[in-house]
């Protein structure tokens, strides 16, 4: 059966060039970067090259990049590291109510440990109003954490404006850029960001490797205790193959990000326009304009998201009915509820997230199947009068 993948927000396949770059570091270049000898130096050079690529990509200094095991670790590190190191200054953190669970659950953990967290509401477009952030600041606020782009509905936050507010109040600003890194521009030298999380498997790199940008001078508690790796901030032997793959993925993003975004916007808009034109009682979730190039998320009245996902899967088409981390649970998505969707509309959501390996004809094929599946499910639905 022909298989079509429209779940790039969950994870991306590694680019063949990424795999090629990684392979020697499993075998002949297997050294531990902490070793002084030839093998160690070889591995260390590869790690430092990747660090320079990552730093250059976002306008940082190489020593401001810490490699981690992924976006979840980077988010945990940023929140807990800042909270513990700066608790004598204050114990208040501001975030939004549409963050990824890596942020929301870290916040819940901190609340249980004496910190106070404000979860700000977003507008119906999924955008956080910077004025709302400004009003939430108290003399106790030490950190603002806001995602760059939402993983479910693709809405892009005004992080430049929020960063300005954080800077004026001398508060640390963390950005979870896991979904945007490598897909839309972000320069830490251009906007006020103190910490930024990214993850390789969202930009055609390997799974299990990420980074945290930490601006020079930031006071942060080390996340892992042990060896002296990563400026004593994150112990453990480096994931050399993963880091090399991440570096290569960043190099490719540097070259291709603009043309890829243009290509994906074309596919995305074709998909959105056709779904809106051919299916009634459908709502597009997320902002019309401030949206990731690859994201199309719909709520379809009178059908269940799971039904659409399974129906499409039977036709060889992979989509998601929420974020990969929450699918499988019966709880409606916290993001869709936060933008004001009813429980029914939240349950009836489907996310298409596109990628560079998709082709125009795949959109046509999927549209045809999708429209038929929705009509079939509606015929069977007891909710349709
Ligand atoms: N933050 C966001 C916005 C995400 O979309 C994800 C993963 O989907 C994560 C964090 C977690 O990243 P990782 O899978 O690398 O742990």
Strands of 54-165 (E only): list them.
Answer: 65-68, 92-96, 116-120, 141-147
**pLDDT of residue 201 exceeding 90:** yes
Distance 199 CA to ligand 1 centre (A): 7
Catalytic residue among 277, 310, 325, 380: 325
Question: CB of 378 within 8 A of CB of 303?
Answer: yes
Question: CB of 159 within 8 A of CB of 191?
Answer: yes
Structure tokens at 154: 């693709």
**pLDDT of residue 307 exceeding 60:** yes
**pLDDT of residue 327 exceeding 70:** no
3-state secondary structure at position 209: coil
**pLDDT of residue 24 exceeding 90:** yes
Amino acid 329: pLDDT: 59
| Ligand 1 binding pocket mutation candidate from 72, 95, 195, 351 (most atoms within 8 A of CB) | 72
**pLDDT of residue 328 exceeding 70:** no
Structure tokens at 123: 């507008």
- Name every protein residue with a CB atom under 6 angstroms from any ligand 1 atom: 70-72, 75, 100, 102, 147, 151, 176, 178-179, 199, 210
Q: Return d(Cα 275, Cα 52) in angstroms, integer.
A: 43
| Ligand 1 binding pocket mutation candidate from 12, 175, 202 (most atoms within 8 A of CB) | 202
**pLDDT of residue 206 exceeding 90:** yes
By alpha-carbon position, which residue is closest to atom 5 of ligand 1? 151
Nearest by Cα to 293 from 197, 196, 154: 154
Mean pLDDT over each residue of the chain, to the nearest integer = 96
Q: Return d(Cα 142, Cα 322) in angstroms, integer.
A: 31
By alpha-carbon position, which residue is closest to atom 9 of ligand 1? 71
| Ligand 1 binding pocket mutation candidate from 100, 182, 322, 334 (most atoms within 8 A of CB) | 100
Amino acid 223: pLDDT: 87
pTM for the whole thing? Answer: 0.97
Q: What is the mean pLDDT of residues 72-87?
A: 98
**pLDDT of residue 377 exceeding 80:** yes
Tens-digit pLDDT profile for residues 134-150: 999 999 999 999 999 99
Distance 350 CA to ligand 1 centre (A): 19
Amino acid 179: pLDDT: 98
**pLDDT of residue 325 exceeding 50:** no
Amino acid 189: pLDDT: 84
Tens-digit pLDDT profile for residues 223-271: 899 999 999 999 999 999 999 999 999 999 999 999 999 999 999 999 9
Under the banding of pLDDT at 50, 70 and 90, the label for residue 384 is: confident
Structure tokens at 183: 């897909």
Q: Return d(Cα 277, Cα 284) in angstroms, integer.
A: 12
Question: CB of 319 within 8 A of CB of 295?
Answer: no
**pLDDT of residue 330 exceeding 70:** no
Percentage of the chain modeled with pLDDT above 70: 97
Q: Is 254 a catalytic residue?
A: no
Count of all residues that appear for the chain in the document: 385
Under the banding of pLDDT at 50, 70 and 90, the label for residue 371 is: very high
Under the banding of pLDDT at 50, 70 and 90, the label for residue 331 is: confident
Amino acid 146: pLDDT: 98
Amino acid 336: pLDDT: 96
| Residue whose structure tokens are 């639905």 | 381
């Amino acid at each position: 059966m022909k298989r079509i993948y429209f779940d790039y927000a969950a994870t991306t396949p590694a680019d063949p060039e990424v795999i090629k770059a990684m392979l020697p570091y499993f075998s002949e270049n297997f050294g531990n970067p902490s070793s002084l000898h030839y093998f160690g130096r070889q591995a260390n050079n590869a790690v430092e090259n990747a660090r320079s690529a990552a730093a250059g990509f976002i306008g940082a200094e190489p020593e401001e990049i810490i490699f981690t095991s992924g976006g979840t670790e980077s988010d945990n590190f940023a929140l807990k590291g800042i909270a513990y190191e700066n608790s004598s200054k204050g114990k208040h953190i501001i975030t939004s109510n549409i963050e990824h669970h890596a942020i929301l659950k870290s916040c819940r953990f901190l609340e249980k440990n004496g910190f106070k967290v404000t979860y700000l509401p977003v507008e119906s477009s999924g955008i956080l109003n910077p004025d709302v952030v400004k009003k939430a600041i108290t003399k106790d606020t030490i950190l603002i954490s806001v995602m760059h782009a939402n993983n479910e509905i693709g809405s892009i936050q005004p992080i430049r404006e929020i960063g300005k507010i954080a800077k004026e109040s001398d508060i640390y600003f963390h950005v979870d850029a896991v979904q945007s890194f490598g897909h839309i521009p972000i320069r830490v030298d251009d906007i006020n960001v103190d910490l930024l999380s990214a993850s390789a498997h969202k930009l055609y790199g390997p799974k299990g490797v990420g980074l945290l940008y930490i601006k020079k001078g930031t006071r942060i508690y080390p996340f892992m205790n042990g060896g002296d790796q990563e400026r004593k901030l994150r112990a453990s032997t480096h994931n050399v193959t993963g880091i090399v793959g991440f570096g290569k993925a960043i190099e490719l993003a540097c070259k291709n990000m603009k043309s890829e975004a243009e290509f994906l916007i074309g596919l995305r808009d074709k998909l959105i326009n056709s779904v809106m034109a051919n299916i009634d009682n459908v709502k597009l979730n997320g902002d019309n304009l401030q949206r990731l190039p690859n994201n199309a998320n719909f709520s379809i009245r009178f059908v269940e998201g799971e039904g659409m996902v399974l129906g499409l899967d039977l036709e060889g088409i992979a989509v998601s009915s929420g974020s990969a981390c929450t699918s499988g649970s019966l709880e409606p998505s916290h993001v869709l509820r936060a933008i004001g969707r009813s429980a029914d509309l939240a349950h009836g959501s489907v996310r298409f997230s596109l990628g560079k390996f998709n082709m125009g004809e795949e959109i046509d094929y999927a549209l045809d199947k999708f429209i038929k599946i929705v009509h079939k499910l509606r015929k069977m639905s007891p909710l349709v009068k």
